[in-house]
Structure 1
Amino acid sequence: MNSGLGFVRGYKCVAWLLLFISLFLSANARSEFDNLTQNLLLQYLAEPTLEREQYLTTLQAGTISEQLESVDMIQLSVADFWRQKNVPLSFDKLNSGASIVEKNISLEPEVDDYLWVVNYLRKLIWLSQTQSWPAIEPGGLLRLGDGHQSIKLISQRLWLLGDAIEYAADEVVYKEDLAQSVKRFQARHGLTPDSVIGPKTLFWLNQTPLARGHLLAKSFVEKTAYSSQLSQPYLLINIPAFNMVLVEDNQVVLQSKVIVGKSYRQTPVMQGNISNIVLNPTWTVPRQILRKDVLPLIHKDGHYLAKKKFDVFDYEGHLVEKSAQQWQEAAVGRFPYRVVQRPGTFNSLGRYKFHFKNDLDVYLHDTPNPELYRQSQRALSSGCVRIEKVQLLADWFARYLIIDKRIWNRMQLNYDKTQWFALSATLPVHLVYWRAWVDDEHVAQYRDDIYDVDSVDVMSLIGQHAIFTDKVITQ
């Protein structure tokens, strides 16, 4: 008997032989078999485990018999990974006679961005296997016209990552073509596209391909698992992306920039159901903001409350009035009052508040400072989410969910009276934290870890592993 097929016994001989031919003599079948490796690779980069590392090693460097013997176990492992995350797979609907190719294809999550993500991961693995990635340290800012030896390495790296069409190997002067590439790179990393190469741009330039692969795979798995459980329509705010989408019938019907909480007043990852819209809301200042932000301003300027149109109430609900000097004195030490800002264009919540019940007093609202949306880094609030296209969102609610449309329409020119509106149905809202994705233009996007969530050094688990020293997958 042929030693290469020594593991075949009895009646299984013909079946294993046919399987061998289908896998290794057919280029198309081999290509489909690689889909299994891709899916396993994505899972390993997202959540490194010894079991997945061993499976990848077998697929990469094992003998033919070892690879064949591992197929069933690997397929079940891949399927179990997605089952644990409640991601539906067509694998679970296959009949017992399905071919290995059909099984491999059926293990792919049925989401639009899967192929683009795994293709980008393939490229990153290729870069990790073929390119050194030394830290770029110019020692200061680099601007158009500057000369520095690191320019050629920056140019090459942007070319390798797909942000530059070409690079000049001997160029040491920062020229316009490179500046345009830097701007593209900055934009897809959520940075201000000003072409100035500073600390934040260097941080992302120095991220190794494997680090990029881990972040993209991790975010894809989290997004796929979370999105598979969503009922439509829904609002979703991706906190580090400073972005909101309104999804209806699997289509994004509205997208908007948002402002989220500062690093020390973070917008929480959470979910809820918007139950009311408040037109011309008042703003009751939370105690923490009152103590840390407002009272120091009152102590500095006794007229601050009047200028910002705040009313002050005692705990029995009685309006409290004092002179400017008295308010300055009261702002030091215990402050036994409730501070409420009247409705109007000056109000900190702006024109609309979208209310959903939660213990953290977080909601979505407008802002009287729209110029803030021009900033690329928009972690600027005290925890709530401010929406740039708030009027368009309110209009959508008015069309589909506002019950009393007559009063809604009548009050659109009123900016002084607060009015709560009930909805015919609640709208789910989801606040998530996904730092990487492949967009609709098939461009990989990355964002800063604004809340230092990904502080665990996962790269220590995968950075030096042998499975990445040779080709892992067929190119």
Structure 2
Amino acid sequence: MRTSRRFFLSGASALAVTMVAGGASAQDVIADILKSSGRGNWNDQFDARASEGGKVASTLPIVSVQTVAYTEQAIAQYQNIVAQGGWERVPDTKKLQLGVIDPDVVPLRRRLMVSGDLAQSAGLSEAFDSYVDAAVKRFQARHGLPSDGTLGQYSYAAMNVSAQVRLGQLQTNLQRLNERAGTLGNRYVLVDIPGAQIEAVE
């Protein structure tokens, strides 16, 4: 069984498999995230698959046949999201966090529901309750951001990248994964410069 250890030089990653970001507007967002002083620490762990609560429980190598399958599943999901019109932009002028009651929480809830971070049953109230807090933390963990549940500049920037751009990133990453999966042998070190991480696989 092959396992991997990931060493993160920062907590920044674009989405699913972030070997290289695609699209100029997405690159600008990623550059802004990388400049964030609180983007993550050496001991932070992020992965293509975040389990419930935003915690990561996987030693699966990034460049593997299984990751190809997960990326294909994500592409199918995002194609469906794009076909249905994507998601609306979340107003980014206020700091939203647990306990806040604000009309801007309604589009935030809709955005989190579309991406699957918040259950539809949570409803569309203006309250930033514990359900929204947990959903925001899941979203932040999946995007390599500090999962503090507070919406600020970098969380808004990641959230407001369009579904079409995210789909393009997944498609680009799938092509790169297909070129490499199964070709690196049983022991290797993968350096992901855009994601600022190193993965050792044995």
Equivalent residue letter for 1:176:
S
Query: Is residue 2:85 matched to residue 1:131?
Result: yes
Percent identical = 23
Query: Alignment partner of 1:244: what SS?
Result: strand
Structure-1 residue corresponding to 2:99: 145
Structure-2 residue corresponding to 1:116: 70
The verdict on how the C-alpha distance between 1:227 and 1:116 changes in structure 2, with shifts beyond 3 A counting, is closer
The verdict on how the C-alpha distance between 1:195 and 1:211 changes in structure 2, with shifts beyond 3 A counting, is same
Query: Is residue 2:135 matched to residue 1:181?
Result: yes
Checking the alignment, whether the CA contact within 8 Å between 2:109 and 2:124 is kept in structure 1 is: no
The Cα of 1:131 is off from its aligned counterpart by 3.4
Aligned length: 141
Using the size of structure 2 for normalisation, the TM-score is 0.61
Unpaired stretches in structure 2, ≥5 consecutive residues:
1-21, 24-63
Unpaired stretches in structure 1, ≥5 consecutive residues:
1-45, 48-109, 249-475
2:191 to 237, 245, 249: 237
Q: 2:116 & 2:86 partners in 1: Cα distance? A: 17
Q: Which has the larger radius of gyration?
A: 1
Q: 2:114 & 2:87 partners in 1: Cα distance? A: 11
The Cα of 1:167 is off from its aligned counterpart by 4.9
Q: 1:141 & 1:153 partners in 2: Cα distance? A: 14
Query: Is residue 2:98 matched to residue 1:154?
Result: no
Equivalent residue letter for 2:138:
R
Encode CA deviations 1:82-140: one digit per residue, 9 max, x unaligned.
Answer: xxxxxxxxxxxxxxxxxxxxxxxxxxxx9223332222211111111213533211412
The verdict on how the C-alpha distance between 1:118 and 1:232 changes in structure 2, with shifts beyond 3 A counting, is closer
The Cα of 1:242 is off from its aligned counterpart by 3.8
The Cα of 1:151 is off from its aligned counterpart by 0.7
Q: 1:112 & 1:231 partners in 2: Cα distance? A: 15
Query: Alignment partner of 1:173: what SS?
Result: coil
Structure-2 residue corresponding to 1:199: 153
Encode CA deviations 1:278-314: one digit per residue, 9 max, x unaligned.
Answer: xxxxxxxxxxxxxxxxxxxxxxxxxxxxxxxxxxxxx
The verdict on how the C-alpha distance between 1:160 and 1:219 changes in structure 2, with shifts beyond 3 A counting, is same
Structure-1 residue corresponding to 2:178: 224
Query: Alignment partner of 2:127: what SS?
Result: coil
Query: Alignment partner of 2:72: what SS?
Result: helix
Checking the alignment, whether the CA contact within 8 Å between 2:65 and 2:182 is kept in structure 1 is: no
The verdict on how the C-alpha distance between 1:132 and 1:210 changes in structure 2, with shifts beyond 3 A counting, is closer
Equivalent residue letter for 2:145:
L
Structure-1 residue corresponding to 2:39: none
2:164 to 200, 203, 210: 210
Q: 1:178 & 1:185 partners in 2: Cα distance? A: 10
Greater relative contact order structure (CA < 8 Å, 6+ sep): 2
Equivalent residue letter for 1:112:
Q
Q: 1:112 & 1:170 partners in 2: Cα distance? A: 36
Using the size of structure 1 for normalisation, the TM-score is 0.28
Structure-2 residue corresponding to 1:380: none
The Cα of 1:196 is off from its aligned counterpart by 0.6
The RMSD of aligned alpha carbons is 2.4
The Cα of 1:229 is off from its aligned counterpart by 4.1
Equivalent residue letter for 2:104:
S
Equivalent residue letter for 1:129:
A
Q: 1:117 & 1:187 partners in 2: Cα distance? A: 18
